[in-house]
Structure 1
């Protein structure tokens, strides 16, 4: 049988037992993980998330020979993000455009919650870019809300999210991959987590001053979001600081990404 040159595993249900059986047919095995809750038999491990003591999470979970690529500097962003250089953007702390994006599905309609929160405030000079995915079951409702309000622009299933983030001054959204996309572009964010595995990362980012974390979706009310928007739009210096701190987390991303790709391909 022909040997597989590289196998990449990204699945929470797979561990050392399956990997050991497959390894003899594979030249190189890479695991993508962020739970650090099980043993792996692999050559490369990628965990691009930020947790307390993230450098030590896999010490006893992978072979000593395994090359570990840990932390947000190794985050794998889509190529569109590398077309935008955050250093070219002048963040003066003023807010003219807010990006609202809670991922592709947003089953609990956090998007509507954010729009309603904004409507509580009298901010006529600010526009909202509302982004949803095609699979969003509230798509028609969100679109009709946007049509009723001149300050809302509706975007569905876009392939230019990097451009929308680059042009925004503030974001309201979830954790997950979008958190790192925002950090890369230095976009300050009000964050509401929509899954349990986003919570610890959001708490850590909040403690570092890179986002303002309001809590999990169940505990966040429209009034909480309205207060956060009000606070941020009235405090330019804190927005400037948040933008800088977010960018610093992914400062070496382009070089570190190249190192990871080199290790995978060699």
Structure 2
């Protein structure tokens, strides 16, 4: 496909996982793509790489301005940078709540705020936020993470309403458990990593983890000019976890 020919895209958290898969897919479909990441050293051409910390407004503004200057404009923002958190409401102190909220929610705000003046100049402007099934389903041991993603879901709807008349579409993807380096690190800390992986796989009706490429495909769908009538939408990429209620195997 070449639906992104001539378009300029910016992907945060684009050095690995979902962000990297998305950046590479957009580039393969014709976009010029810039990646923002804390450590973009692994990013290779044709992707452009910029170092940025989404918790630092000056860092974000500097990186976005540099990326837009090098790209020659901006049409698509993929707000993907984020971190995980584990535990119930009792398991994380105030500092950790503030830290994860600062990255997962306010970080998206900082990047969008820096990008919006450039997106307004585009005739195909789109923002896609990486949310999570945790925004719409109660998952155990994910209180802090779920709270941030619930905020991202609401933020997406509010942004879509605020900017639709400016010609800027805003949507989000809600992945299930994705086979990324972060999940790998989480599994490595489990008492029985194989059993924990099996449990994560079993809670998704497809019986397997979601791939980063599958999430990237959903991001590309929402960002594409072919989806010009789609805004204010949350697209679940979760192996059926959100909507399916299967009977036990054999019944």
- Asked whether the two chains share a fold, i.e. TM above 0.5, the reply is no
Larger Rg: 1
| TM-score computed with the length of structure 1 as normaliser | 0.30
| TM-score computed with the length of structure 2 as normaliser | 0.32
